[in-house]
């Protein structure tokens, strides 16, 4: 079982949403240090101040653009020098490009989504994984999505990024297992979570909007149990089975009836923000 107590924990996209909640939960579990990477300096400041007010003074914040390899490598070097090896990495940062058919996306829409949701996840992992291998211990938690298991009309670019994360995460898990050390990967595949990130989506039948607190509680439990994959809600577990049993046309009829294929029609999401790296901010 993985132990959060006394671990150095890093959460990307940790100044908001479930990333922030996961960070707080790790502090409550006794993490030695919580390292938060986020591109929003204002949210980082507010989150650190809030956690400090709760008595947690072991919070270190960095303004990092995970789509920028140089930004990742520079900040990773500082984390390793100032705090030490990362024992537990939550790859949570991500964006949603939705409410558009694929042909309505610009090259910038595609590049932005893939550079954050795929390249960002892999490169953040890359800069910390060598030390996990050396210390023969570490846990990587990748936030994928149930959309990595099923088509998502009006969300094709987002879904493709999560299919990629799922495939990469599972492959990395096997590489860790072949190493035969205390190295673990947990892949998380939730359906829509009731946060601003998915504002406006219409939850399909049998797949209600997930509540952030419940999601985080289950993620932390899965991490502590070294679970390899976590699908939420539990109904998501039947999707791969149904795809294997039914023909494509029949599966599409079922998914369409449940409202899966129309769930993004009313998607709004968060207001578009400028994603320009700012001056780094970290706790003293």
- Helix (H) or strand (E) holding 139, with range, is strand 137-143
Note the maximum CA span of the chain: 58
Written as six digits, the tokens of 179 are 């190493």
Q: What is the DSSP letter of 89?
A: E
The angle that helices 41-53 and 17-28 make with each other, rounded to 10 degrees, is 30
How open is the CA angle 82-66-141, to the nearest 5 degrees? 80
ω into residue 233 within 30 of 0, thus cis? yes
CB atoms within 10 A of CB 180: 8
Catalytic residue numbers read: 158
Residue 284, helix vs strand vs coil: coil
């Amino acid at each position: 079982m993985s132990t959060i107590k006394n671990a150095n924990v890093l959460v990307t996209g940790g100044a908001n949403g479930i990333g922030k909640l996961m960070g707080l939960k790790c502090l409550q579990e006794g993490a030695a240090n919580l390292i938060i990477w986020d591109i929003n300096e204002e949210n980082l400041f507010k989150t650190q101040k809030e956690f400090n007010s709760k008595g947690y003074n072991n919070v270190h914040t960095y303004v990092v653009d995970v789509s920028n390899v140089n930004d990742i490598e520079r900040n990773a070097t500082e984390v390793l020098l100032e705090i030490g090896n990362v024992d537990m990495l939550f790859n949570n940062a991500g964006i949603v490009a939705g409410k558009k058919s694929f042909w309505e996306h610009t090259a910038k829409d595609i590049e932005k989504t893939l550079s954050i949701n795929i390249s960002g996840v892999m490169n953040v992992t890359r800069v910390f994984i060598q030390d996990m291998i050396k210390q023969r211990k570490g846990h990587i938690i990748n936030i994928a999505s149930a959309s990595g298991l099923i088509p998502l009309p009006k969300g094709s670019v987002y879904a493709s990024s999560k299919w990629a994360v799922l495939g990469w995460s599972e492959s990395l898990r096997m590489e860790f297992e072949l190493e035969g050390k205390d190295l673990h990967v947990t892949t998380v595949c939730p359906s829509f979570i009731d946060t601003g990130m998915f504002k406006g989506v219409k939850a399909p039948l049998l797949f209600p909007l997930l509540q952030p607190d419940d999601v985080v509680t289950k993620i932390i439990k899965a991490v502590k149990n070294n679970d390899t994959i976590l699908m939420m809600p539990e109904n998501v577990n039947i999707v791969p089975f149904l795809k294997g049993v039914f023909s494509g046309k029949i599966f599409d009829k079922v998914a369409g009836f449940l409202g899966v294929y129309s769930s993004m029609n009313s998607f709004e999401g968060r207001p578009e923000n400028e994603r320009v790296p700012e001056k780094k901010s970290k706790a003293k």
